[in-house]
Structure 1
Amino acid sequence: MSLPLLADLPAVLLPLVTRAQQSFRAALVSLTEAGQATFDAWPAERLAAFDRVCAASDFVADQVSRDPQMLLDLAESGELERGYKAGELRQQMAVAVQEAASDDELGRNLRRQRTRQQVRIIWRDLTRQADLVETCRDLSDMADGSIDLAYQWLYERHCQQFGTPTGRRSGEPQHMVILGMGKLGAVELNLSSDIDLIFAYPEGGETQGVKRPLDNQEFFIRLGQRLIKALDPVTVDGFVFRVDMRLRPYGSSGALVLSFNALEQYYQDQGRDWERYAMIKARVVGGDQAKGDELLEMLRPFVYRRYLDFSAIEALRTMKQLIQQEVRRKGMAANIKLGSGGIREVEFIAQAFQLIHGGRDLSLQQRPLLKVLRTLDGQGYLPSAVIDELRQGYEFLRYTEHAIQAIADRQTQMLPEDDRDQARIAFIMGFADWNSFHEKLMYWRGRVDWHFRQVIADPDEEEGQEDGGEEIVGGEWLPLWEESQNEESASLQLQEGGFSDAQKALKHLSNLRNSSQLRSMQRLGRERLDAFIPRLLAQAVEHSNPDLVLERVLPLVEAVARRSAYLVLLTENPGALRRLLTLCAASPWIAEQIARFPLLLDELLNEGRLFSPPQALELGAELRERLTRIPEDDLEQQMEALRHFKLAHSLRVAASEITGSLPLMKVSDYLTWLAEAILEQVLALAWRHTVARHGAPRRPDGTVCDPGFVIVGYGKVGGIELGHGSDLDLVFIHDGDPQAETDGAKPIDGAQFFTRLGQRIIHLITTQTNSGQLYEVDMRLRPSGASGLLVSSLGAFSRYQENEAWTWEHQALVRARVLVGSTDVGHGFEAVRAAVLGRERDLGTLRQEVSEMRAKMRDNLGTKGTTAGKGANAFEATASFDLKQDAGGIVDIEFMVQYAALAWSREHPALLRYTDNIRILEGLEQAGLMPAADASLLREVYKAYRSAAHRQALQKDAGVVSGDQFVAERREVMRIWAQLGLS
């Protein structure tokens, strides 16, 4: 921010400079001549800064005249021109506290330190040598030091008088925990902030070491009163900080100090929305830091809900309305904190996202507002342009707030009406006059208010403004839902709205209304449901098939009725509701997924993100970032994060497929990339856990495995062809020494280690949590199948494939590839695969074995009546066609590809480069092993079959279509099957 030169001082401020200089020089007379000479010898820049600061701040001018030596000392030490190092401010205060011999002297020393620091901080702020963050940090450090140092000083003397408080359960000495709330908690104190505190202590008991013990609570109440007295009262030396204790449970009528259990019980049973809002910024500022961290962890579930909590917007909206009423009542429109477009609105915007999403997105669990804004930008909650405006507007408002408060060290955010003070504010903010400053201020307030309305505004108000009316959205459907009209009128309204079966729709609504879930709802939940259903009906009738929409969405409504915050999400976000209805109408699979896992509603909020799944590298990076925010020892939360990630991205892929923005091949790509990103993190988690218990295993050459392990994917995941709901065919391989012991405290041999690693991986993937399981896992393709070892060494895997594996296992190996794990072991696996698949084979025997295996599968799994394998012309039409198993279907194409790879890869090793059927068919064509027309036909038919199978899956139908579909395609597949000599 640009600063005016001293010559630009408004004329109205020049007398202030003259008076300040005269007063300061007069005060210097009381010092030595050296003191006067020191001031005269100041560099021009510092003298100009003196004039600037004294013109702007009566407080600084008065304090330096009262104690000129203080300013000279600050100048001589260089503290006016440099920022403090970490801990430097606290150290200065500690010296002052240690010198105190009584409570009165403690208060006096703290107040003098506060004055000294306040002069320094204002000086640096007004000369813009310190930015907003530094100024707020120094003020907050000063508060932290004052609180904690005074507490420690008082605690020692309090114990001497009343004994040491001791926990009844633990038997340990007890310390108080002092929570700083609001701006103090967020390290955002302004130049004249009060400090909001909450006092607590860990557990009940009584003091020890005295004849008449005190109850712990009584001990800490008296100690808390002494601490407040040390900080709050105004004396001849001023004050340290105004202390506000009204944020504690029960406010002014509550006990000054409560135990941890009492606090937890209060917030669990009686905690109100505004208290959640306040607790976001709670920070331990004094007392027992470790116990304080435990307390905040205890209270975290109260602040941050595990689900999306759009009820927070209701609470913030109510709070804002109360503030606006107070602003109007007291004529406070000029208040830059509470007025329209003020500081509080920026805070509300940030904290709305924190309260809504913070339970699941740990990156939002931060205190400083500017950091939260950066996270909202980085995580895509708000566009970068919006964040830039909010940040710039907030900084302008906070600098203005400091300018107002610097004048007289008064706690106010009201714009001055006095001409001289207005000139001061404009001058401090770098403007030529009040009008130009005020114009800029109102611009930023207007932008902040506009963004605030986009986030916090009531959807009914917004719709009403657009429609030119005051009616609630969907209000015309409210009588039908509340049964305040007769059945005939209700049926007619539904018919006119486009419902084909009005009676059935009424029945669905009646069943919901009378369900056990709704009968047991609390009043607030029922009110939210009553607000939501009319909106649902209003949007349902906009669809071509409202009957289907209602039938599929009402089970979701019933599923989330007891967690009505989800209803608020949809009420607050009409666009999300619109997308929900569209997707549910298109796919019962999506409707079921969202009903089972309502947390997926979050994905509907951002339309751009919903229909734009990320690329492979972005997927992996996003998941890693999510998991790094979770403590390493919190396995439950890690598993939930993995499952939510999978559910969310699966929905995004399905939504993109339904809307046509993602073609079939890309759908499979994304679902496969998703599985790989998840398996990468699952392996990392399992490895860390197993190594932590047993130490790391070793290779035969003695080097440490890290991890010396790979997860190999077969089938659909190996062939990059995952579909919705696909399971994972996996094989685990390692290159460790099975006999060598691990290097941990509880060593086990390498074979045991890798078995436990494999078991851990399967546990992480398949365990059912609140968010379901990650995938079904099939391990039957490992050597010797279900009877074989869970994890094979690379050597054992090679020997099995060379000497014992059946032809069908080699067929499966065609589609096998390393998904995640050690690069070296991966190369080893690729070498084994190439050697096994590329060995010389008797083609007659190969054709026979492939044909026999296909016949068995068709007999057991296909539709009866198909006659594939007995000639291309022997096609028998059936009533239905199993896309996968019937003659001419998906498996026939897969078997032809596998046969070709086994038959010809010895002469054409390029056939082994890829594991997906499409690119292997391209390789057969390029090698001249299959006519181009046939290879192209098989590729197109294969994609058509899989596309149909995907559609069936999204409709929750089996992969079976009517027998009159794909007739020509089936004949052609069977023809090529016969030409390859398969029977």
Structure 2
Amino acid sequence: METVGTLTERLTPALAASRYLQRELAARPWLAPLLEASIDAPMGAEAMRDFLAREAPDEAQLKRGLRRLRTWVICHTAARDLLGLAPLAEVTETMTRLAEVCIAHAHDQLHTGLAERHGAPACADGTPMRMVIIGMGKLGGRELNVSSDIDLIFAYPEDGDTTGPRPLSHFDFFTRLGRQIIAAIGEVTEDGFVFRVDMRLRPNGDSGPLVSSFDALEHYFIAQGREWERFAWIKARPLCGERLDELADIVRPFVFRKYLDFGAINAMRALHAQIRAQVARREMATNIKLGPGGIREIEFTAQVFQIIRGGRDAGLQIKPTMQVLEALADRGVLDYGAVTAMGDAYVFLRRLEHRLQYLDDAQTHDLPATPEDRARIAIAMGFADEAAMAAELEHHRTVVSASFQAACGDPNEADHALDELWDATITPEHVANRFEAMQFRNPTAAADRLAQMREGHRYRQLPESIRGRVDALIPRIIEGCAAQPNPDDTLARILTLLDAINRRGAYLALLQQYPQALRRLMELMSASSWAADYLTTHPILLDELLDARQLEEAPDWPAFAQHLREQLDAAEPDIERQMDLMREQHHAQVFRILHQDIAGKWEVEAIGDHLSALADVVLEETLRQCWRKLKQRHRETPRFAVIGYGKLGGKELGYASDLDIVFLYDDEDPSASENYARLAQRLLTWLSARTSAGTLFDTDTRLRPNGESGLLVSGIDAFRKYQDESAWLWEHQALTRARFVAGDAEVGAKFERAREELLRRPRDLTKLAEEVIAMRRKMLDQHASRDASFKVKDDTGGLIDFEFIIQYLVLGHAHAHPKLVANLGNIALARISGELGLVDAAHAKAAADAYRTLRRMQHRLRLNGEKARLPEGAAEAEREAIRTLWMDVFGRPA
């Protein structure tokens, strides 16, 4: 009695908040000693199992033992929580452990009894078969509350029959077992119950069979699975059973699509609307779970983005709500401040939920009806009175509602002022007049283009749900186009994009849901026809428009390389998925550079540096992946290098540049030549093959020794010999812009030494100049403009003139000036040549500035799909600067 008295005194605050705890201590003399001994530490699974070993050693005592355990654990948890000893995480984890331990104990005992009577189920290969019990909802997420239902689904790997004295089909065996487990856990006896068991999430709900084979489950997902079930299965977690990887392979593609599934937002909104209607109908405004700003809205916010992105980001295929929200903040999908505020609200609401349930062990989420009980709850929450708690509750619910609306609300609910322009009953003349008022240059053409889309077969054949998204977008697109400096071009480009994606509801949903993404899209469409074409070809990149922070962040190539490697390794051995992943990641990085380029963040040299660095990463990882997939490798790491030439070698890669590459190796193994040839061929295929995600690069290997007639791969010594004895001058010119880009660093270093030796060879300057001029004249004959316009690359005073000047200076003077061998780029080499006195320093600087300006002009023209050709008289100052340097060096024009 002294123990009870001491415990009662200690539990005074908890007893004041929980009539259930009062009743249980009064009715069950065995409970107080257990609480006295255990209350100072969290309840572990081992303590629960030990209790059941004593109290429920056989099937006859199973129900009683389980219920006594439940009483102890609930009272222990309530006491610790109400005394301030247990944080929320401990409470939910303890309740989850209780469910797991009870289910496992009941399953093991009942399975054994059934197997003794009917024989044990077994797989076709003879291995024992156990029922897979899947915890759903809060049980799956390890988030059970103290008076929660448990949502279960029963499955088994394959059909068959038991082999006992009274055999059963596996279906019948596991159906009986499932019913017995439900009774053991959920049936109300004189000792109460353990958990209410809800089986309505199983295929076809209450009308479906209690258990499903894996085959039946997969067929159901394919043929009948509904959108709301995808949300339910996010938290699915097997609690026992075998062949769980096989089950995961069935569930994953149903829940997580390979594409960005923005269409899930509408499904979630529909589900949320049903709940809101139910809340309103039942007058449940004070329900802290289902009411406005309640727990469910926090859960929905996490789950909808898991559905949208989880198929492409395995890191989001996790269960606990707050971990998901934090992961979304890390990825820039949600704002950190909003996630922090939702986290605070979640803890508050879950703590309040538990105090509502401690009161009478009732499954409730409603605030109490009586002032006395509301005051009791307020004190248990640490507030002085009900009013203070109500104010805090209102604050958190307002925060949650606002965050939910920002993330998941429908931004297109209101009518738009331009809706009439998409109305088939409005005359074309009226639409054209409205376009003219919005400063379209050719309003009639714009109106016709819009009418053609509305009346076109593609639009009319769209499903109603997708057509509704197009209908909501068009007025907003027109408004956005009108805000651009070139509204006609912008409208034409974005309507072309819509034509390409209008059967892809997820992309339309993205643009419909996120006005900021639509705004950024139109800015890009206005700024660059190349960007418009790139997006139309790779619409998956629309997702990039959501996160301004990520779009504007400077590239971190080592971090990207590590991230790419981790993703590809995680997809091993699925080659198709790896190739898609590499393309998707490459396209995303190109798109971010493009966005920053259009915004004016980078000079043209920096664009070339970044695109070349990206290509280096892709080549390095492609090489690694291709080598590991060769079946007959003769060594773990290849002694193989990729050498970049041309724009890749000079770090001047453009958005659509080919890769000029050469393959070298240094390996005496007899099988090296054959294996490396196979590796090179596979690498080229990996880079250039078109998959569902597009292509990576076109490649050109004609700069290898002996060109197209030569071997695809060369030994480093053979390469050196060829360059020393047989190479043409133009091949040495190309060597001035070559560098090691991927593969074995020692082979790369040998190439760099060979390159330096070749470039530093003394040459006859007169003969060298004659050969360079002859090569330049040949190129002019083939490519120079035939009219008065100026081809920025090919004509005299253009880019090639400047590049030939630098190549001549390197080849002619590197033997005396080693600085010229470094692959620093043409502009830097021009400056160095001036500092060394090889050319007039002022002329070199003027020509280098002109070269930079011409590259910038070429770049801008190509961004808008135009050839790099300027009208007569354009860029005359730049041309003259380069011609002047040419005359300084060669003494006569090309």
TM over 0.5: yes
1:49 shift after superposition? 4.8
CA distance in 2, matches of 1:280, 1:376: 15
| Residue equivalent to 2:411 | 459
Q: 1:97 to 1:261 in 2, by over 3 A?
A: farther
1:225 and 2:176 correspond: no
1:211 shift after superposition? 6.8
CA RMSD in angstroms, aligned pairs only = 2.7
1:252 and 2:206 correspond: yes
CA distance in 2, matches of 1:90, 1:845: 92
1:601 shift after superposition? 0.9
Q: In the TM superposition, what whole-angstrom CA distance separates every residue of 1:182-201 from its partner, at most 9, and x where no partner exists?
A: 11111111111111112223
CA distance in 2, matches of 1:695, 1:148: 48
Supply the AA of the counterpart residue of 1:844.
Answer: T
Q: Secondary structure at 2:367's aligned position in 1?
A: coil
1:927 shift after superposition? 1.9
Supply the AA of the counterpart residue of 2:136.
Answer: M
CA distance in 2, matches of 1:592, 1:544: 19
| Residue equivalent to 2:80 | 124
Partner of residue 567 from structure 1, selected from 508, 511, 524? 508
- Confirm or deny: 8 A CA contact 1:816 1:915 kept in the other structure: no
| Residue equivalent to 2:356 | 404
Q: Secondary structure at 2:412's aligned position in 1?
A: helix
Q: Secondary structure at 2:24's aligned position in 1?
A: helix
Q: Secondary structure at 1:980's aligned position in 2?
A: helix
Partner of residue 890 from structure 1, selected from 799, 809, 833? 799
| Residue equivalent to 1:194 | 149
Partner of residue 501 from structure 1, selected from 442, 447, 455? 442
Q: In the TM superposition, what whole-angstrom CA distance separates every residue of 1:104-129 from its partner, at most 9, and x where no partner exists?
A: 42222222222233333333333443
1:244 shift after superposition? 0.8
- Confirm or deny: 8 A CA contact 2:52 2:69 kept in the other structure: no
Supply the AA of the counterpart residue of 1:966.
Answer: A
- Confirm or deny: 8 A CA contact 2:56 2:64 kept in the other structure: no
- Confirm or deny: 8 A CA contact 1:89 1:141 kept in the other structure: no
Supply the AA of the counterpart residue of 1:675.
Answer: A
CA distance in 1, matches of 2:467, 2:134: 36
1:773 shift after superposition? 1.0
1:947 and 2:890 correspond: no
| Residue equivalent to 1:477 | 419
1:243 shift after superposition? 0.8
Partner of residue 40 from structure 2, selected from 77, 81, 104? 81
Q: 1:278 to 1:93 in 2, by over 3 A?
A: farther
| Residue equivalent to 2:290 | 338
Q: In the TM superposition, what whole-angstrom CA distance separates every residue of 1:513-557 from its partner, at most 9, and x where no partner exists?
A: 344433432222222222222332333333343322221111211
CA distance in 2, matches of 1:662, 1:908: 32
- 1:41-440 matches, within 5 Å, as 49-73=10-34, 75-76=36-37, 79-83=38-42, 88=46, 91-92=49-50, 95=53, 99-100=57-58, 102=59, 104-165=60-121, 174-204=129-159, 206-210=160-164, 213-288=167-242, 290=243, 292-440=244-392
- Confirm or deny: 8 A CA contact 1:97 1:149 kept in the other structure: no
Q: Runs in 1 of length 4+ with deviation above 6 angstroms?
A: none
CA distance in 2, matches of 1:779, 1:361: 35
| Residue equivalent to 2:653 | 722
| Residue equivalent to 1:924 | 833
| Residue equivalent to 1:32 | none
- Confirm or deny: 8 A CA contact 1:711 1:733 kept in the other structure: yes
CA distance in 2, matches of 1:825, 1:904: 26
| Residue equivalent to 2:664 | 733
CA distance in 1, matches of 2:63, 2:415: 58
Q: 1:539 to 1:171 in 2, by over 3 A?
A: farther
Q: 1:148 to 1:520 in 2, by over 3 A?
A: farther
| Residue equivalent to 1:579 | 520
Q: In the TM superposition, what whole-angstrom CA distance separates every residue of 1:484-526 from its partner, at most 9, and x where no partner exists?
A: 2334434434434444434433432343234443343222222
Supply the AA of the counterpart residue of 2:72.
Answer: R
| Residue equivalent to 1:7 | none
- Confirm or deny: 8 A CA contact 1:203 1:260 kept in the other structure: yes
1:685 shift after superposition? 2.4
Q: Secondary structure at 1:537's aligned position in 2?
A: helix
| Residue equivalent to 1:672 | 612
Q: Secondary structure at 1:459's aligned position in 2?
A: coil
Q: 1:115 to 1:805 in 2, by over 3 A?
A: farther
1:446 shift after superposition? 1.8
CA distance in 1, matches of 2:308, 2:554: 23
1:711 and 2:642 correspond: yes
Q: Which runs of 5+ in 1 are unaligned?
A: 1-24, 26-35, 462-470, 698-704, 740-748, 865-877
Q: In the TM superposition, what whole-angstrom CA distance separates every residue of 1:885-931 from its partner, at most 9, and x where no partner exists?
A: 22222112111111111111121111223341122122212222222
- Confirm or deny: 8 A CA contact 2:738 2:823 kept in the other structure: no
Q: Secondary structure at 1:531's aligned position in 2?
A: helix
Q: 1:711 to 1:117 in 2, by over 3 A?
A: farther
CA distance in 1, matches of 2:700, 2:49: 62
1:970 and 2:854 correspond: no
1:379 shift after superposition? 1.1
| Residue equivalent to 2:488 | 547
Q: 1:486 to 1:726 in 2, by over 3 A?
A: same
What is the number of residues matched between the two proteins?
892
Q: 1:491 to 1:148 in 2, by over 3 A?
A: same
Supply the AA of the counterpart residue of 1:732.
Answer: F
CA distance in 1, matches of 2:824, 2:811: 13
Q: 1:109 to 1:618 in 2, by over 3 A?
A: same
Supply the AA of the counterpart residue of 1:667.
Answer: I
Supply the AA of the counterpart residue of 1:945.
Answer: L
CA distance in 2, matches of 1:897, 1:683: 32
CA distance in 1, matches of 2:673, 2:36: 70
Q: 1:839 to 1:355 in 2, by over 3 A?
A: same
| Residue equivalent to 2:474 | 533
CA distance in 1, matches of 2:640, 2:90: 49
CA distance in 1, matches of 2:137, 2:855: 56
Q: In the TM superposition, what whole-angstrom CA distance separates every residue of 1:133-170 from its partner, at most 9, and x where no partner exists?
A: 232222222222322332233233323434444668x7
Larger displacement relative to structure 2 (487-496 or 893-902) = 487-496
1:860 shift after superposition? 2.7
Q: 1:722 to 1:213 in 2, by over 3 A?
A: same
Q: In the TM superposition, what whole-angstrom CA distance separates every residue of 1:309-347 from its partner, at most 9, and x where no partner exists?
A: 222222222222222222222222222111222111111
| Residue equivalent to 1:831 | 753
**TM-score calculated relative to the size of structure 1:** 0.85
Larger displacement relative to structure 2 (419-428 or 601-610) = 419-428
Q: 1:122 to 1:777 in 2, by over 3 A?
A: farther
CA distance in 1, matches of 2:392, 2:565: 43
Q: 1:813 to 1:125 in 2, by over 3 A?
A: farther
CA distance in 2, matches of 1:90, 1:762: 60
1:641 shift after superposition? 2.0
| Residue equivalent to 2:557 | 616
1:425 shift after superposition? 2.8
Q: 1:851 to 1:354 in 2, by over 3 A?
A: same
1:975 shift after superposition? 3.1
| Residue equivalent to 1:686 | 626
- Confirm or deny: 8 A CA contact 2:34 2:72 kept in the other structure: no
- Confirm or deny: 8 A CA contact 1:669 1:720 kept in the other structure: yes
Partner of residue 695 from structure 2, selected from 750, 773, 796? 773
Larger displacement relative to structure 2 (964-973 or 561-570) = 964-973
CA distance in 1, matches of 2:181, 2:334: 43
Partner of residue 911 from structure 1, selected from 797, 801, 820? 820
Supply the AA of the counterpart residue of 2:382.
Answer: G
- Confirm or deny: 8 A CA contact 1:164 1:209 kept in the other structure: yes
- Confirm or deny: 8 A CA contact 2:117 2:166 kept in the other structure: no
CA distance in 1, matches of 2:717, 2:51: 68
Q: 1:906 to 1:185 in 2, by over 3 A?
A: same
1:752 and 2:695 correspond: no
1:232 shift after superposition? 0.9
Q: 1:257 to 1:809 in 2, by over 3 A?
A: same
- Confirm or deny: 8 A CA contact 1:657 1:667 kept in the other structure: yes
- Confirm or deny: 8 A CA contact 1:96 1:110 kept in the other structure: no
Q: In the TM superposition, what whole-angstrom CA distance separates every residue of 1:817-855 from its partner, at most 9, and x where no partner exists?
A: 222334433333322222221222222232233223323
Q: Which runs of 5+ in 2 are unaligned?
A: none
Q: 1:84 to 1:778 in 2, by over 3 A?
A: farther
